[in-house]
Structure 1
Amino acid sequence: MTFEILDHDLHGRIGRIYTRHGVVETPALAPVINPLKSPFPLEYFEKYFKVDLVITNAYIIWRNYGWKALEKGGIHGLLGISRPIMTDSGAYQILEYGYIDVDPDFIVNYQKLIGSDIGVILDIPSGVRETKYSVKWSVKETIRREVRASLLYMEEDKERMLLVAPIQGGVNLDLIRISARSAARLNFDIYALGSPTQIMENYDFETLVDMMAVARANIPISKPMHLFGAGHPIMLSLAVALGYDLFDSASYILYARNERYILPEGTLRVSEIRREFPCECPVCSSIDIETFNNLPKEERISKIAQHNLYIILREIRLIREAIREGTLMRLLELRSKAHPYLYRALVKLRKYVKLLERSDPITKPSIHGIFIFDVNSTYVNPKIVRYREWIKKRFFSERPYALLLPAPKIRPYHSDKKVREIIRILKNGGVYPRNVDVLFYSKIFYLVPLELCEMYPLSQFEEGFIKIEGENLMEIIKYIIKFIKKRSYKRVVILQSEDWPLKFFKELERRGVMIVTREDIKRIYQYMT
């Protein structure tokens, strides 16, 4: 299997998966198709929605068509779709009903025979409410089946069906880690996090972040990752940021059956839409709300399902463009504001910022400034965290003195009028640049050397309201103190600012930093000799 990675942002990437029936550009969503019933003609998936990939259920096809599926031209003939098709093996039915009457080896072979481009082994899903003993068994049995599938079906053939290895473990991160590491050793084509549907239905995005991060961290970065059952646009950017490439969902039709209308920021009930559809997709722009409400129920469901799918696919395209531009974090933060639980998941990313940084590019040919909405942005944005680590570890100087100035609002900092005046005073006093490191203390980047203040992203950012207090304040203080100790300055002087809390200066003074005020500026060079 060839998976080509074309671009990165955070841990997300744009890539291409090469299959027998064409190329799938990732991130990609595969709409779930029920071969027995669709809310609109199956030809729409290619003709209007232009999807690269669809997914259907091989177990349902076997139960209803058996070997006749081969007579109909295999899975592509049966569905009338020429693009790549992925088939699931029936694990979702096990999760729902506890059992299906099919052999795991047989159903993988059946997927191969009907011409599936991407097949999934029949794993044992881990339910959220199952005991840990039960989940351990499901992980062990899934690993056993993966070993058999790798021996039977992973032949060296570029034209073969690509095979997906699900990762199980429920909400137990230790078991997810074991499952992922075991599957990774078998070198499957694609890996998938199994059984997250119940977590997503409960909007438990914090737990989902833990599950996704642990699974992704234990799978080779060169392999695509699939997230089963993820189909609401509100959380797709979160999953992509953590390194997930493929998604499948029936949400477009499941929501439509309850006349629920998907938007990027959430969901509306059609009954709540009074005057006009808040959307310009081909469906919504072709009908007014009054005409829509007078349609037969099945026709209403069909139109809502089409609208929902347009919105989900639009979000996937928006995510791909954000990766190209280097603005995926901006999109992720905007979406996180749509629901409190999703915002909590964004904050949880602080725990996994090293994973986000693993693929995040230092810069791109076309630079876009970063948006910093609040203090949590400074903890989860890998560009900010990376810079702090670099300066702490890599900034070396033999100058005996350091002057800390408040970061001005004008950027780059050295262009600020007051900063230029201080530099002039230091030069006239004969201490700069020979004896003094001039650094700016910042609530975002903590410390910025004067010589680096034009470096990306130190001048290429916009900030919202960032309050310096509590944990954030103490972290900045500890960072500055460690920075000073590592460089053994004879004296460190800090210019006090009214924009910073008094506690900040008191703590630094207690550790030997000399505090000066604006009244001391004209003779500030005297403290550097």
Structure 2
Amino acid sequence: MHADYEARVVSFELLAEEAGARRGRLETAHGVIETPAFMPVGTQATVKAVSPDELRGLGAQVVLGNTYHLGLRPGADRIARLGGLHRFMGWDGPILTDSGGYQVFSLDHLVRVTDDGATFRSHLDGSEQRFTPESVMAMQRELGSDIAMAFDQPVAWPAEPAKARAAMEQTHRWAKRCLDDERAPGQLRFGIVQGGFNDDLRRESAQTLGSLAFDGFGIGGLSLGEPKTLTYSMLAAQTAILPRDRPRYLMGVGTPADLIEAIARGVDMFDCVLPTRIARNGSILTSGGRINLRNHRFIEDWGPPDDGCDCYTCQRFTRAYLRHLFMAGEILGHRLASIHNLRLLVRLVGQVREAIGDGRFGKVVTLLRDQWVHAPLP
């Protein structure tokens, strides 16, 4: 028998709701997360090009690590022997670890799936690996993360209804096994709702997992290439059903427009590689849209990367200087652009969070939609 509802850890306080948006506090073993919250991605126990002190300075509350990557290298058991993931990466705040389900199933034809788990070959050395719900939860216990995600089976876009149902039902069976497994002291456990791109399946998944003793819920399998209108309708179908008293985490989504629309539909947490990935390619997010600093028009632009931004990059450097760094192949360019992009998203979510519950949410979201949702990106 899987864990019942009362077995979960009571850790989330819903402070305010306004027009579908929620403001809350999630207590973890390494501190409180004020929600809505954007989580920088530290797949390999590092947010690329940004130090833990810099993350704190730009306002990050929680970072994400990945069980698939860390389990393969250097190994969850080795990280445990070295004092756990917090000590290993020098971050003393909350850490959420993804289960690695997305990475495993992105290998597609290289994966063999049974009810027991998934067998695949390591992308590092070709060795055969086996992930089960129990092994994934064990690795996350060894890592010592504050929030551990259940093992799930996502499907790609587009997915046939029969395939989406089979993956969803497998996800549900695995979720119950994750709950049956030993809980690390103080570690929260989140289930992941799936359902492909079908309203009925999405609702069924939210209903099924919402009845289980998870401390929160990831919403997986979205923003995989489907139209945005479909993303938002699938999202709304599940947030309407998921329990109000537990946090909702939209996985792998992080454009400004997506953050705004998801918060308006009742999402509390987000992660995405977008801010650091585009930074490495010379692009930054600004109040006027996304720009590529490699463009020749910035060669003598002595203005800050983004007018009105309070980040270290914008307070100290110019667009011309950042362009020079990228054209010269200097690593500092990646770092400065990453710091700015992360700060912009953290500040954006914070701006919305502060507006929820005091009557300003509608006005703030209207302004942000005009800026980000309808504005063309150059």
Q: For this structure pair, what is the TM-score category when the shorter chain's length is used for normalisation?
A: 0.7 to 0.9
Pick from 114, 132, 137: which aligns with 2:161?
A: 132
* 1:186 corresponding residue in structure 2: 212
Q: Deviations over 1:455-480 (max 9, x none)?
A: xxxxxxxxxxxxxxxxxxxxxxxxxx
Query: Map of 1:417-428 to 2, 5 A cutoff?
Result: none
CA distance in 1: counterparts of 2:350 and 2:236, whole angstroms: 23
Q: Deviations over 1:282-308 (max 9, x none)?
A: 202211223222224222111111110
Q: Deviations over 1:174-196 (max 9, x none)?
A: 11111111101112101111011
CA distance in 1: counterparts of 2:153 and 2:54, whole angstroms: 30
Helix, strand or coil at the partner of 1:33: coil
Query: Map of 1:128-167 to 2, 5 A cutoff?
Result: 128-153=157-182, 159-167=185-193
The amino acid that maps onto 2:363 is R
* 2:367 corresponding residue in structure 1: 334
Q: Deviations over 1:16-59 (max 9, x none)?
A: 11111111111111110132664334323544123211101012
CA distance in 2: counterparts of 1:264 and 1:190, whole angstroms: 32
Judged with a 3 Å threshold, the aligned counterparts in structure 2 of structure 1 residues 294 and 80 are, in CA distance, closer, same or farther, namely same
* 2:197 corresponding residue in structure 1: 171
* 2:306 corresponding residue in structure 1: 278
The amino acid that maps onto 2:324 is N
* 2:123 corresponding residue in structure 1: none
Q: CA RMSD in A?
A: 2.2
Q: Deviations over 1:128-159 (max 9, x none)?
A: 122221111110100000111122246xx8x4
* 2:277 corresponding residue in structure 1: 254
CA distance in 2: counterparts of 1:195 and 1:35, whole angstroms: 22
* 1:306 corresponding residue in structure 2: 339
Contact 2:293 2:322 in 1 (8 A): no
Helix, strand or coil at the partner of 1:197: coil
Helix, strand or coil at the partner of 1:226: strand
* 2:318 counterpart of 1:288: yes
Helix, strand or coil at the partner of 1:78: helix
Query: By how many angstroms is 1:341 displaced?
Result: 6.9
Judged with a 3 Å threshold, the aligned counterparts in structure 2 of structure 1 residues 252 and 12 are, in CA distance, closer, same or farther, namely same
Instruction: Pick 1 or 2: higher relative contact order, CA cutoff 8 A, min separation 6.
Output: 2
* 2:80 corresponding residue in structure 1: 70
Query: By how many angstroms is 1:164 displaced?
Result: 0.9
Helix, strand or coil at the partner of 2:356: helix
Pick from 255, 263, 271: which aligns with 1:232?
A: 255
Deviates more, 1:257-266 or 1:117-126: 257-266
Contact 1:121 1:146 in 2 (8 A): yes
* 1:323 corresponding residue in structure 2: 356
The amino acid that maps onto 1:120 is M
CA distance in 2: counterparts of 1:232 and 1:325, whole angstroms: 25
The amino acid that maps onto 1:173 is D
Helix, strand or coil at the partner of 1:335: helix
* 2:143 counterpart of 1:114: yes
Query: By how many angstroms is 1:216 displaced?
Result: 0.7
Q: Deviations over 1:340-367 (max 9, x none)?
A: 7799xxxxxxxxxxxxxxxxxxxxxxxx
Judged with a 3 Å threshold, the aligned counterparts in structure 2 of structure 1 residues 265 and 209 are, in CA distance, closer, same or farther, namely farther
Task: Identify unmatched segments of 5+ residues in structure 2.
Answer: 1-8, 112-119, 121-128
Judged with a 3 Å threshold, the aligned counterparts in structure 2 of structure 1 residues 86 and 340 are, in CA distance, closer, same or farther, namely closer
Q: Deviations over 1:213-236 (max 9, x none)?
A: 111111111111000012122231
CA distance in 2: counterparts of 1:333 and 1:65, whole angstroms: 46
Judged with a 3 Å threshold, the aligned counterparts in structure 2 of structure 1 residues 142 and 72 are, in CA distance, closer, same or farther, namely same
Contact 1:205 1:342 in 2 (8 A): no
CA distance in 1: counterparts of 2:219 and 2:322, whole angstroms: 38
Q: Deviations over 1:299-324 (max 9, x none)?
A: 21111111100100110110112114
Query: By how many angstroms is 1:265 displaced?
Result: 5.5
Task: Identify unmatched segments of 5+ residues in structure 1.
Answer: 344-529
Contact 1:13 1:323 in 2 (8 A): yes
Contact 2:133 2:177 in 1 (8 A): no
Structure label with greater radius of gyration:
1
Contact 2:13 2:24 in 1 (8 A): yes
Helix, strand or coil at the partner of 1:23: strand
Judged with a 3 Å threshold, the aligned counterparts in structure 2 of structure 1 residues 210 and 300 are, in CA distance, closer, same or farther, namely same
Contact 2:49 2:334 in 1 (8 A): no
Judged with a 3 Å threshold, the aligned counterparts in structure 2 of structure 1 residues 137 and 41 are, in CA distance, closer, same or farther, namely same
* 1:90 corresponding residue in structure 2: 100
Q: Deviations over 1:229-283 (max 9, x none)?
A: 1212223122111111011111111111221111356311113462222333220
Deviates more, 1:167-176 or 1:272-281: 272-281
* 2:267 counterpart of 1:244: yes
* 2:48 corresponding residue in structure 1: 39
CA distance in 2: counterparts of 1:341 and 1:174, whole angstroms: 30
Query: By how many angstroms is 1:8 displaced?
Result: 2.0
Query: By how many angstroms is 1:120 displaced?
Result: 0.4
Query: Map of 1:363-442 to 2, 5 A cutoff?
Result: none
Task: Compare the two structures and name the one with the higher helix fraction.
Answer: 1
CA distance in 2: counterparts of 1:299 and 1:205, whole angstroms: 34
The amino acid that maps onto 2:199 is L
The aligned length equals 337
Pick from 58, 82, 101: which aligns with 2:67?
A: 58
TM-score, normalised via structure 1 length? 0.60
Contact 1:86 1:116 in 2 (8 A): yes
Overall identity of the aligned pairs, in %: 27
* 1:379 corresponding residue in structure 2: none
TM-score, normalised via structure 2 length? 0.83
Q: Deviations over 1:80-111 (max 9, x none)?
A: 11101000011221342223432221011210
* 2:30 counterpart of 1:21: yes
* 1:486 corresponding residue in structure 2: none
* 1:198 corresponding residue in structure 2: 224
CA distance in 1: counterparts of 2:375 and 2:105, whole angstroms: 25
